[in-house]
Structure 1
Amino acid sequence: MILLGKKATQIDDLLDRMAEEVQLDKTRRDRMKSSYEAVKEWIEADEKFFKPYKYDVYPHGSVRIMTTVKPFGREEFDLDIAIHLKYGTPHSPERIYNELRRRLNEHGLYRDMLEAKNRCIRLKYAGDYHMDILPGVQEVEYDRNRIMVPDRELGSWVSSNPRGYADWFIAQSNLVKESLLEKALRAENLPVDDFSKKKPLQRGVQLIKRYRDIYFQKDDSYKTSSVILTTIAGQFYQGEDSIFNTVDNIVSTIQNSIGQSYGRLKILNPVNADEDFTDKWDKEPEYYEAFKRFSFHLHSEWQKLKKDNGIIEESRIMKGLFGDDLFVKAQGSQAMEIERSRKSNALGVATGTGVLASTSSLGSIPIKNNTFFGE
């Protein structure tokens, strides 16, 4: 992607590159896809319980909504999988959970990787990721997405809707039809690469999650969860076409909401209003206090980026928010694109602003090639 036209577009290009760099790379995605397919096939081949029933197996969480972020430090990536049995399956939550556990234990490899959790069964893979498998039964016939999942601590079903949540978030992301970067590329008759097609909300969530990882790296005792950050971003998103404005609106609305709320801010599941993702904040208010400090710091730093402080100060702020390595890689990627455009005589300077632009833009002056000793 070439740097285009206005400063706002160039900043969005840099944010886009950082978000692309921070998401799971193709090697990790391929490994997880292979693991997912293998588990799916093993469960589907079960003659004792699963095979006679109708059910779906599908990924949910950040993989499904395309907001993945590479593990930071010693963390592992969490691949979420749902086993969704159709409506009318006549078994208790305990039975379904135990049958899933029994089937995985029958596999020579999975047996040693298995860890029983409260609502899911975890398979721990060598490297930096694990798979959480959530069994559930469709709750009502008229809603194909709502499922009841076993809660071992409660000894009963609890309602969940991972597929409906993903549909909601994707719909929120699609409030904008064409991003600022897509508009800039189309205006200058340049091809759109694959990662520029990701929506500003998806990119904004990736960057906020990475900032969260940086902010809590020294003490993650009360680290804000990804589902809270993703949900609040989706709820506060207003269809902004740029990544920068998306993050700005989200963090500004968070600050306004904290100031106006009586008691604490509540983040409810958008597809199940009975579920409060932040109920832990009542039992352990330290989580809410940490969230307020974290969001206040992001908001303060983001407001500084809105000022014309120059490249050096902007670089310092972005490095502080997202990490030196991530910023340097994104900046280096930009520089390589500029150099390729300059060598092909496709790079110019917009008259009046001095901002880099395509030579196809109106009012731009081509930049001469930088030859040896200026010859």
Structure 2
Amino acid sequence: MTTTPTTRKTSQLLARLADQLDISDSHFEVAESRYQSVANWLARDASAVADRDSRIYPQGSFLLGTVVKPVSHVDEYDIDLVCEVAGSKLEWTQDEFKELIGAEIKAYARANNMNAPAKCGRRCWTLEYADGAQFHMDILPALPQDPQTKGWLRRLSVDSSQADLAIAITDDQEPTYRRLSNDWPQSNPRGFAEWFRQRSRPRVQVFAEAQISQVPQHRRRTVLQRVVQVLKRHRDRMFAEAEDGLAPISVIISTLAARAYQGEEDLVEAVAAVATNLLPQIVNEGGVYLVRNPVNPDENFADKWEDHPERREAFFTWAKQLRADFEPLAGEDNVQKFSESLRPVLGGRAVDEAVQTFEDRPGRVIYGAPMPVRLAPVDRFNLPHRQKPPWPAALRHTVSVVGEVTTNGRKQRFSSDGPVLPKHQSLSFRATTDPPVPRPIEVYWQVINTGDEATRAGGLRGGFDISKTAGVGGLHQNETTLYSGTHSIECFIVKDSVCVARSGPFVVNIQ
């Protein structure tokens, strides 16, 4: 890996500020745990889609890596998930397929004693969490798109690697919603993410006090991702008191920013350049404004502007203010003046926190190639040696697992499906339940190893190891990185011979 230092202190400060705007590790872990919990529910033996290849994966800002913290503590993170099930559009009507997935989501809400039942929206099912974690989850039922539609996208000059990821979705406003038809709405969140990644000129921004291989995947950001985060926070601040629907939508910001970005490696220069070149990316055809979807040129992300001209005016007003705020900062090298200029546009508290971390931990910014986005098929570890849980399930609690690796006597936390770990290191996994499960309980851990090394050594495992620490208040398991490959560990909480919580696989990558 080669690295290119960014030595401008103003760019380092803006990178620190963008890091402050990012989702916290604790919130990310909760989101990941809940997303995996839904995936496990859909993969269970009793699921209506258990006999089909299925996958759950994020879309939107969680997939693009452009999440920003809510401006207000009363606002929520919106976790957008796709539930893609192998099948054909001629097997169900849109209505039937949406209800098939909806029945599973509603059963999940009941089994987990959620305060509110799953809500049916125009395209998605929504789960509301009432535990102060600031989350709600939108789950989009989807099928793989048919070969004819993928071919049509390729003829529209969509790259094959992106067109092949297209999906068919449901929409209760479509005239064919209750009729068996091949005419379903389409979407392509993974194709869009791949296009965005290619536009990023993949170079990741992290801080020099940590080697890039030790930075969790969800904390790695390209310059373009940081640019979009800064733009979104500027929007959130500007429209904090505006009526609903006026704030520019994130997909338009992400699309235009990606098109305006020209590979600048200095973050301040990149934000200023994108702010300058944002509006010229919008096409005006006879008075109709177009922001074309790069992976479906037939779709206009700005189609609502024609019926709601106030939204178009709000976008243009915001884009002009963005340019006025950031264009003058491109040549500013005085950190104090720079930070004072940022306070009114990005928020005084965020700027103060960035300045504090910048002063406490000075260091240059480095860049390196990012890890690819990993998707999480729900059947990823459905392997012959994986034993089925022997207990009946009544999942009333959630379990979050954190991992810790000890290297040369130094302990460091790592996230699921995060950095590749070297062999022969000590691992420790700790679980927490929400809400706490009343004692006494039994805690079991299931380790699933994969790969030739584990197979040859007879170390595939797949059974259930009872924790010896549950009775004294600790929920942890110690392991070692023995075999190369991708492995998993999952925590099960059993009370009165019933499984009341399971964490979902925590994925460990070993060199």
TM-score, normalising length: structure 1: 0.80
Residue 151 of structure 1 aligns to which amino acid in structure 2? D
For residue 75 of structure 2, what is the aligned residue in structure 1? 75
State the distance in 2 between where 1:262 and 1:34 align: 48
Distance 2:186 2:225 in 1: 26
TM alignment of 1:1-375, pairs within 5 A = 9-45=8-44, 47=46, 49-73=48-72, 74-88=74-88, 90-107=91-108, 108=110, 109-110=113-114, 112-126=116-130, 127=132, 128-141=134-147, 144-155=164-175, 156=177, 157-173=184-200, 175-177=201-203, 194=215, 197-221=220-244, 222-257=246-281, 263=287, 265-308=289-332, 310-338=334-362
Unaligned runs of 5+ in 2: 151-162, 178-183, 365-511
* Residue-pair matches, total: 329
Determine the C-alpha separation between the residues in 2 that align with 1:144 and 1:213: 34
Name the SS of the counterpart of 1:145 in structure 2: coil
SS in 1 for 2:166: strand
Return closer, same or farther for 1:40/1:5 CA change in 2, 3 Å cut-off.
closer
% identical equivalent positions: 26
C-alpha distance after superposition, 1:233-254 (max 9, x if no partner): 1122211112222212211112
Q: Which residue type is aligned with residue 199 of structure 2?
A: Q
CA distance in structure 1 between the aligned counterparts of 2:337 and 2:288, rounded to whole angstroms = 34
CA, structure 1 residues 82+197, in 2 after alignment: closer, same or farther (shift >3 Å)? closer
Q: CA deviation at 1:208?
A: 0.6
Give the distance between the partners of 2:49 and 2:284, measured in 1 at CA. Answer: 50
Match of 1:365 in 2: none
Inter-partner Cα distance in structure 1 for 2:103 and 2:242: 37
Greater strand share, structure number:
2
Post-superposition shift, 1:63? 1.3
CA, structure 1 residues 42+171, in 2 after alignment: closer, same or farther (shift >3 Å)?
same
- Amino acid of the residue matched to residue 118 of structure 1? R
Distance 2:136 2:354 in 1: 28
* Change in CA separation of 1:260 and 1:131 when aligned onto 2, cut-off 3 Å: closer
Q: Is the 8 A contact 1:176 1:241 kept in 2?
A: no
SS of residue in 2 equivalent to 1:274: strand
Deviation at 1:311, TM superposition (A): 4.5
The structure-2 alpha-carbon separation of the partners of 1:264 and 1:9, relative to structure 1 and needing over 3 Å to count, comes to farther
Q: Is the 8 A contact 1:176 1:239 kept in 2?
A: no
- 1:171: Cα distance to partner? 1.7
Quote the Cα distance in structure 2 between the aligned partners of 1:325 and 1:178.
26
CA distance 1:289–1:264, change in 2 (3 Å): farther
* 8 Å CA contact 2:145, 2:168 repeated in 1: yes
Instruction: Check the 8 A contact 1:115/1:122 in 2, yes or no.
Output: yes
For residue 154 of structure 1, report the CA deviation from its aligned partner: 1.6
**Partner SS state of residue 145, structure 2:** strand
SS at 1:106 equivalent: helix
> What is the SS of the residue equivalent to 1:122?
strand
**Higher helix residue share:** 1
In the alignment, is the contact (CA less than 8 A) between 1:168 and 1:271 conserved in 2? yes
The TM-score normalised by the length of structure 2 is 0.59
Change (3 A) 1:191 1:35: closer
Distance 1:168 1:258 in 2: 18
Shift of 1:202: 0.5
Q: Is the 8 A contact 1:43 1:50 kept in 2?
A: yes
Amino acid at match of 2:329: L
Kept in 1, the 8 Å contact 2:259–2:281? The answer is: no
State the distance in 2 between where 1:43 and 1:190 align.
37
**Quick one: distance in 2 between partners of 1:207 and 1:91?**
43
Give unpaired runs (5+ residues) of structure 1: 342-375
* 2:120 partner amino acid: A
Call closer, same or farther: CA 1:190–1:283 in 2, change over 3 Å.
closer
Alpha-carbon distance in structure 2 between the residues aligned to 1:55 and 1:27: 28
Name the SS of the counterpart of 1:59 in structure 2.
Answer: strand
Letter in 2 for 1:326: A
SS in 1 for 2:264: coil
Q: How big is each residue's C-alpha offset from its partner over 1:105-161, in whole Å with a ceiling of 9 and x where there is no partner?
A: 223235824111100001111231111100011112465411110101124320111
